[in-house]
Chains A and B, each alone.
Chain A
């Protein structure tokens, strides 16, 4: 992972502005361009996020949550899978600590995501990193990692990231408000949520081109299916851990196989 404080391709004045952590301003075309590219890069995945937002909104209202609580939760929590995981607990009048723990564990994959992206954001202010993290999501993180994997580091990574985040945040929230307000008119049997699944699938498939990633994804999928009924969504965590381990093992074997013919000759 590249972690340079002064990325290549920066003029002296640009480097000064870059280190000064200038906010998005109208007189900085470079920042605006990165922000705009973030918006356009995330848009293809947004039909999935919108469908998921609507379904989450509908689910919150249909589980008996009052309109105002559903709106408050949707806008502040900003965590679709955690919100859906918590709904049955709220319905059963579960203790609050169980709600907190379930939300935390459903969100645990973001700890691994943020570990994967943290090296790219060490030179921004703490406050900015808090917001970058809070506003991120599955689509945003994978799109960002895909870009830095192809292009390496670039200037105004935060502007690019914010461009994606804000698009995702606005569309997801508009969609969940539509779902909350229109819950009575949107039948749950339409299967709208499947569009969200397909959008995530569209992110997974291209990542599986390398064999270690394919092996990791397959084992993660198997464990997630087997462990879906485990308490506190622990099956999900087991799936990610086992998937990563398998990917690393296949990676190591591939390296060894590639190295050995040369070693013998």
Chain B
């Protein structure tokens, strides 16, 4: 990429590294000095599930054109099959395998892409 000088590239990567350290480590390091209200502490229990849902939902429900809730979107049946398999067998590896299989088959036989 010729948009940046080597120095600027190093700076850009350094900024990303700093953001990784700051977001992941800062609260751990000052952990005992930060006291949250009990309500906030209780709310943190639901943080991981909400963050993961916010991360996953757009990946499944959106495509390049926007909202893709139709049978043309192979990720919908694949995610559904994977979730059902997970609830049935409780296997993460199986969930990924079933999801990817349905995803691939759907693309070959239904959407043809």
Contacts and interface: CB of A to CB of B under 8 A. Distances in A.
A81 B90 CA distance: 26
Nearest to A119: B31
Given A96-B11, A208-B49, A191 B28 contact: no
B1 A66 contact: yes
Interface stretch (A21-29, A177-185, A216-224): A216-224
Interface stretch (A9-17, A31-39, A198-206, A256-264): A198-206
Interface string A41-52: 000110110000
Given A204-B53, A225-B58, A79 B19 contact: yes
Contacts of B96: 47-48, 195, 198-199, 202
A8 interface: no
A212 interface: yes
Contacts of A216: 46, 49-50, 53
Contact of A239 (B17, B26, B54): B54
Chain A interface category by residue count: 35 or more
Contact of A121 (B31, B47, B50, B93): B31
B57 A220 contact: yes
Nearest to A141: B48
B100 A194 contact: yes
Interface in B52-97: 52-62, 67, 75, 78-79, 82-83, 86-87, 90-93, 95-96
Interface residues of B, number: 69
A100 interface: yes
B15 interface: yes
B44 A116 contact: yes
Nearest to A236: B54
Contacts of A236: 54-55
B94 to A, nearest CB: 9
Contacts of A223: 54
A130 to B, nearest CB: 5
A226 to B, nearest CB: 9
A202 B17 contact: no
B15 A115 contact: no
B9 interface: yes
A150 interface: no
A116 B49 CA distance: 12
Contacts of A114: 23-28
B82 A82 contact: no
B27 A73 contact: no
A115 to B, nearest CB: 5
Given A47-B93, A201-B95, A107 B20 contact: yes
A82 to B, nearest CB: 6
A204 B56 CA distance: 9
A130 B17 contact: no
Contact of B91 (A44, A106, A129): A44
B35 to A, nearest CB: 11
18 contacts: A47-B96, A78-B20, A79-B16, A79-B19, A90-B1, A100-B16, A109-B54, A116-B48, A129-B29, A129-B31, A142-B52, A198-B95, A198-B100, A199-B95, A213-B46, A217-B53, A222-B57, A244-B43
